[in-house]
Amino acid sequence: MICHIEVYGCQMNAHDGEILAGILKSSGHTVVNNAKIAEVIFVVTCAVREHAETRALGRVTHLAGMPEKKPIMVLCGCVAQEHGEKLLKKMKLLDYVIGPDLYHRIPDLLLEGNRRLSLTEQGVEKYENVSPDRKQFPRAFVTVMRGCNNFCTYCIVPYVRGRERSRPVDLILNEIKGLVDLDYGEITLLGQNVNSYLHNGVDFPKLLEKVSEICEGKCWVRFVTSHPRDLTTELAEVMASKENICNQFHLPAQSGNDRILKIMGRGYTRKEYIEKVKMLKRLMPDIVISTDMIAGFPGETLEEFEDTVSLLKEVRYDYAFLFRYSERDGTAALNISPSVPMKERLRRLSILQELQAEITLENSRKLVGREMEVLVTGVARRPGQMASRTMGNRLVILESLNYNPGESVQVKIVRADGYTHFGEPIKE
Ligand code: SAH
Ligand code: SF4
Ligand code: F3S
């Protein structure tokens, strides 16, 4: 059948979309990027905030009406896991609701043709025997672990993704060897909490070292996401000692206030967090650091919010993903009072956004005039331009189409606009 897959949410989901495409292709289906001609439409959804959920469901309704013949509609991902059967009953246009651990069942379901089914048993699925159909050459995602055991009190992820499980080292290394042979230029090791990786005595720093060796001279290596509590000096030392491990760290703080961090269940204090940032900067002076922050967590006072503002100022992140708190069913934070009114959450969010935009721009401008290597990733949004990335994962626009994805180019940064930079080649 002709299948169209649309993905929302985090990089785990983006890669799950590639896993799903791999499963469909290996059982003889065709995967296209065109909803109009599709016989089956898959929407891989995110449930992390209410907005993400509503958006994905709105998209399902829109997509169902697109092809002339009514397509088979399959809702996948975290919203599927969260609402399962309930959603199937509510949305008559859905044919299947399939949780993130059950994608390998889809080919059989399509063959059997018994529509209106919901499958959401949670297991320990690691998709070990699937070859993902990767869509982002020269950048490849490789899952190292799935799930999360942290249960931060605001977060739905541990409920929809299940418990932590790590993929076997050999499997990961073999997958990466294959990608290096295919000339991929960048490998991103993926997991909700990569620092919890553990398989037969191999922990994350050891795994990273092995991956870096396989990729040496050929391929950059990065990873997401790390929990600040689990970031060790050992990991930072591995990063600093290997040239092809990107000096980039996504280290979500969530808040700058100790009481809020405590009721979020994060397991570190502001001071401990800042110490880790300092350690990273000491070992890798040019490191690019980003964060996630939540504004308006239940009970957050103005003074406590100011601590988040001051953390942004103190760390001076290169980039930050900023959110207003969103209530999620089943999470512990629902029982924490008083809730911060939505208007106030939005006000606090916009304060963080304005401040961070200034910091991001200031950091970006510091790069103007510097020379660095970039990896060409593909065409840019504007015609006549190509996009590339620095080792710090900064976007650099090249004003020419004379490059191939996967090519390494030495550029000089000539201009910066927010997180986007413009580069000129310094040698052909
Ligand atoms: N495992 C990753 C990503 C989790 S989800 C990590 O721990 O960093 C990505 C981000 O969404 C989180 O870091 C958090 O900032 C945000 N988030 C999660 N639940 C939220 C909620 N209920 N309201 C607002 N933001 C939320
Ligand atoms: Fe959610 Fe916390 Fe797990 Fe990240 S570490 S996925 S924020 S519970
Ligand atoms: Fe969203 Fe699921 Fe990722 S809830 S953030 S798509 S793990």
CATH number, position 9: 3.40.50.12160
Question: Does 129 fall in a domain?
Answer: no
Residue 281: the pLDDT is 97
* Closest residue to atom 5 of ligand 1, CA basis: 48
> If you average pLDDT over residues 204-221, what whole number do you get?
97
Q: Residue 411 forms beta bridges with which residues? A: 372, 425
Question: Does 61 fall in a domain?
Answer: yes
**Residues 21 and 5 sit within 8 Å (Cβ to Cβ):** yes
The CATH number of residue 375's host domain is 2.40.50.140
Quick one: what percent of the chain has pLDDT higher than 90? 90
CB half-sphere exposure, 27, CA atoms < 13 A: 18
Among 366, 393, 414, the domain-final residue is: 366
Residue 225 C-alpha to ligand 3 middle, in angstroms?
12
**Amino acid at site 338:** P
Residue 306 C-alpha to ligand 2 middle, in angstroms?
23
Residue 117 C-alpha to ligand 2 middle, in angstroms?
29
408 and 339 within one domain = no
Among 366, 386, 413, the domain-final residue is: 366
Q: Pick the residue with more confidence: 260 or 111?
A: 260
Question: How far, in Å, CA of 87 to CA of 216, rounded?
Answer: 47
Question: Does 273 fall in a domain?
Answer: no
Residue 305: the pLDDT is 98
Q: Give the SS3 label for residue 102.
A: coil
Domain that holds residue 235: 136-246
Can the peptide bond before residue 71 be classed as cis, meaning omega within 30 degrees of 0? Answer: no
**Residues 29 and 23 sit within 8 Å (Cβ to Cβ):** no
Residue 64: the pLDDT is 84
229 and 141 within one domain = yes
380 and 351 within one domain = no
Residue 266 C-alpha to ligand 2 middle, in angstroms?
9
- Decide: 227 in ligand 2 pocket, CB within 6 A: yes
pLDDT at 76 over 70: yes
28 and 46 within one domain = yes
48 secondary structure, DSSP code: S
51 and 16 within one domain = yes
Residue 428: the pLDDT is 56
* Closest residue to atom 18 of ligand 1, CA basis: 155
**Residues 257 and 251 sit within 8 Å (Cβ to Cβ):** no
* Closest residue to atom 1 of ligand 3, CA basis: 46
Question: Does 262 fall in a domain?
Answer: no
The pLDDT tens digits for 226-247 are 999 999 999 999 999 999 999 9
Residue 419: the pLDDT is 84
Q: Residue 30 forms beta bridges with which residues? A: 2
The CATH number of residue 301's host domain is 3.30.750.200
Among 201, 222, 246, the domain-final residue is: 246
| CA of 48, closest atom in ligand 3 | 4
Confidence of residue 80 (pLDDT cuts 50, 70, 90): very high
Question: Does 34 fall in a domain?
Answer: yes
- Decide: 266 in ligand 2 pocket, CB within 6 A: no
> If you average pLDDT over residues 18-32, what whole number do you get?
96
* CA quadruple 63, 66, 67, 71: dihedral sign: positive
pLDDT at 265 over 70: yes
> If you average pLDDT over residues 58-67, what whole number do you get?
85
Question: Does 124 fall in a domain?
Answer: no
Which value, in Å, is the radius of gyration of the alpha carbons in the chain? 22
- Decide: 192 in ligand 2 pocket, CB within 6 A: yes
| CA of 79, closest atom in ligand 3 | 4
107 and 168 within one domain = no
> If you average pLDDT over residues 102-108, what whole number do you get?
94
pLDDT at 79 over 60: yes
239 and 191 within one domain = yes
| Angle CA 325–329–331, to nearest 5 | 70
**Residues 166 and 145 sit within 8 Å (Cβ to Cβ):** yes
| Angle CA 91–97–98, to nearest 5 | 165
Ligand 1: list residues with CB < 6 Å.
Answer: 48-49, 148, 154-155, 157, 192-193, 225, 227, 252, 254, 292, 294, 323, 325-326, 328
140 and 101 within one domain = no
Lowest pLDDT segment from 57-61, 77-81, 196-200, 342-346 = 57-61
Residue 237: the pLDDT is 97
12 and 113 within one domain = yes
Residue 219: the pLDDT is 96
> What contacts 301, CB < 8 A, 6 or more positions away?
none
Question: Does 270 fall in a domain?
Answer: no
Question: How far, in Å, CA of 357 to CA of 372, rounded?
Answer: 23
- Decide: 9 in ligand 3 pocket, CB within 6 A: yes
Question: How far, in Å, CA of 48 to CA of 10, rounded?
Answer: 9
The pair of three-digit structure tokens given for residue 340, joined into one six-digit string? 């911060």
194 and 229 within one domain = yes
The pLDDT tens digits for 350-362 are 999 999 999 999 9
Residue indicated by tokens 């001609």: 37
361 and 332 within one domain = yes
- Which-ligand-closest: CA of 160? 3
The alpha-helical segments, DSSP class H, found in 225-266 are: 233-241, 258-264
> If you average pLDDT over residues 279-302, what whole number do you get?
97
Counting every residue written for the chain, the total comes to 428
The CATH number of residue 232's host domain is 3.30.750.210
Residue 125: the pLDDT is 85
pLDDT at 375 over 70: yes
Question: Does 240 fall in a domain?
Answer: yes
Mutating to test ligand 3, I would choose from 51, 78, 225 the residue with most ligand atoms within 8 A of its C-beta, which is: 78
112 and 55 within one domain = yes
Domain count along the chain = 4
Q: For the chain, what is the mean pLDDT? A: 95
